[in-house]
Structure 1
Amino acid sequence: MRGILFILRTDLPWEWLPQEVFGVSGVACWRRLREWAQAGVLEALQQTLPDELGEKGCLDWSRAAVDSFSVPAKKGGLLPARILRTGERRAPSTTWW
């Protein structure tokens, strides 16, 4: 897990993971990440880890930000309003004769 997090944080190629530091090759980390993703391990971590860390006081929830991209609007939200034209036709181009 340490090797995977290191690569994801530094954006290095998997092959560049220092094996002598992490005790495993970058290719092995990549393979394990792929297997965990397919088995649903990462999704389970994403759901349980923040709650556990929050209960232990390891996360500062006051610095969290949530936007409509990550949390959908309840009941679908409102449809965007139609944009009305301000004139009958477009203004002539100033770059094309």
Structure 2
Amino acid sequence: MLPSFAARPQEGGTAPRDERALFTAVGYALTSGCAWRHLPPTFGTSPATAHRRCTIWTEVGLWRRLYRAVPDELGARGEVDWTSVILDAASVRAKMGDR
């Protein structure tokens, strides 16, 4: 599901990064509101690398695909109670004049 990143053809550079660690670091930054520069070093990746990878994943539509795939997968396994729904006002368009 994640785009693969091949080694660069030039000599030198840095070692390939652990994709799971990067995904975890990006998820942490996005869900916690942590500034990239304050990303804890325990993730094993630099803030610049995590930010760059987040940008790439956004450009290829990863977040949109995950947003659709996760509820579908959990629903197919019967692990979602569809009888309750929560709407976030930021996601619902408010129409003026239609009450």
Q: Same fold (TM over 0.5)?
A: yes
Into which bin does the TM-score normalised by the smaller protein fall? 0.5 to 0.7
Partner of 1:9: 31
Q: Matched residue pairs, number?
A: 75
Partner of 2:15: none
Deviations 1:1-40 (A, max 9, x none): 1111111222111011112x21212221111111111112
Alpha-carbon distance in 2 for matches of 1:23, 1:58: 32
Alpha-carbon distance in 1 for matches of 2:49, 2:79: 30
Letter in 1 for 2:68: Q
In structure 1, runs of 5+ residues without a counterpart are 73-78, 82-97
Structure index of larger Rg: 1
Letter in 2 for 1:4: V
Structure 2 counterparts to residues 1-97 of structure 1, below 5 A: 1-19=23-41, 21-66=42-87, 70=91, 80=98
TM-score by length of 2: 0.57
TM-score by length of 1: 0.58
* Higher RCO by CA contacts (8 Å cutoff, separation 6 or greater): 2
More helix by share: 1
TM-superposed CA distance for 1:55, in Å, is 2.4
